[in-house]
Amino acid sequence: MADIRFIQGNEACALGAIYAGCRFFAGYPITPSSEIAEMLSEELPLVDGAFIQMEDEIAAMAAVIGGSLAGKKSMTATSGPGMSLKLENLGYACITEIPCVIVNVQRGGPSTGLPTSPAQADIMQARWGTHGDHPIIAVCPSSVSEMFTETVRAFNLAEMFRTPVIVLSDEIIGHMREKIVIPEEGEIPIVNRKKPKVSPEEYKPFKGEEDYVPPMAAFGEGYRYHVTGLSHNEEGFPIQSGELVHQMNVRMHNKIYKNLDKILKNEVYMCDDAEVIIFAIGGSARSSKGAIRHLREEGIKAGLFRPLTIWPFPEDELRRVCSKAKNVLVVEMNLGQIVFEVERVLGCTGVRVDGLFDSSGEPFTPLSVANRVKEIIKR
């Protein structure tokens, strides 16, 4: 019998993590993500996993890194202020290539902001929040069901490419309730990190293979190796050679940007004949899809381009989908962030890019999106 539930997005995220093989969670309560921690505190012990509430978000991120180094699929969950605290250790996870999942259920900001209201103002933080050159993967669910499946995909990507992956949700998706059918075991393929095939004496923990991804041995498996946040060689020891540092950084970029076909995922909705294409993610995409149905009933050809992977940015697919459109409207719950990426990609194509922005903590209505589209086409 199918496992059908009526649950919150945050609860679906927790169940998706367990389905993906997560067996360690470290976190700190913060609205509007706390239900993820609450549910995993109950569910992880039932599958021989471990939950720990740390003293703060900095320590939580550090514990997740330790859990992954010990061989367990590990995650944490937070919101904007907590994400800000996690960023230093996120950078450490990037340079040491530690697979882990960080869920950010976005809320209004800056600072304490609007703890119980939705926002999408952490989009650029997800990409550039930690310092230095680093690649990052961030996925964006827009439904309760996708909170489950995108969390599973986040773990698969983290394990496949030995990298942190961010699940960029928002308060709307985190707290809304919808019907979800929990997949049976094996229905969604699960990826586990590559293990070394050489002896401990020959193992180089940061030597990439053909896909640029190094195999990863867990602490306690007989492989002793050095882990440092300093720029390091293939053995993991600090280096000063500019050439080797550059090679290390390029390889870490290549493992993401040379494998985009395995990472990028988009929804293209009614775009084949669209003259106006709406670009939106998360809760904003739900309102935008409703607006498109109303606009189509009025004879206005509108469509939706919705990235489920926002980082890396889906440049080629966005150009292809928008190649015949006249206008693109970027709808986001902030004062304008991802619109600049859309403008960068479409700037020389002749497509005009406009925005619909709001930082009030109130979600867009389909009517507000539809009215903005009408303003654009009347111009």
CATH topology agreement for domains 3-182 and 267-378: yes
Local structure of 277: helix, strand or coil:
strand
Which residues are within 8 A (CB) of 297 and not within 5 positions of it... i.e. 6 or more apart? none
Predicted confidence at residue 365, as pLDDT, reads 97
Contact yes or no for 69/98 (Cβ under 8 A): yes
Averaged pLDDT in 10-residue chunks for the chain of 379 residues: 93 98 97 98 98 98 98 98 98 98 98 97 98 96 98 98 98 98 96 97 96 97 95 97 97 98 98 97 97 97 98 98 96 98 94 97 97 94
Would you say domain 3-182 falls under CATH 3.40.50.970? yes
3-state helix, strand, coil in the chain (%, to 5): 40, 20, 40
Distance between CA atoms of residues 24 and 72, nearest Å: 6
Give 1's DSSP letter.
-
Question: What Å distances lie between residue 76 and 251, 265, 357, CA to CA?
Answer: 26, 23, 29
* Domain ranges for the chain: 3-182, 267-378
Which residues are within 8 A (CB) of 63 and not within 5 positions of it... i.e. 6 or more apart? 26, 52, 54, 76
Q: What backbone torsions phi and psi does residue 128 show, to the nearest 5 degrees?
A: -120, 10
Contact yes or no for 353/330 (Cβ under 8 A): yes
Distance between CA atoms of residues 182 and 4, nearest Å: 6
Predicted confidence at residue 348, as pLDDT, reads 85
Query: What is the pTM (predicted TM-score) of this model?
Result: 0.97
Predicted confidence at residue 1, as pLDDT, reads 73
Contact yes or no for 69/41 (Cβ under 8 A): no
Distance between CA atoms of residues 278 and 369, nearest Å: 9
Closest C-alpha to 172, from 10, 30, 330: 10
Predicted confidence at residue 151, as pLDDT, reads 98
Distance between CA atoms of residues 5 and 104, nearest Å: 23
Distance between CA atoms of residues 338 and 38, nearest Å: 32
Closest C-alpha to 125, from 107, 144, 151: 107
Would you say domain 267-378 falls under CATH 3.20.20.70? no
Predicted confidence at residue 345, as pLDDT, reads 97
Distance between CA atoms of residues 376 and 379, nearest Å: 5
Contact yes or no for 332/318 (Cβ under 8 A): no
Predicted confidence at residue 379, as pLDDT, reads 80
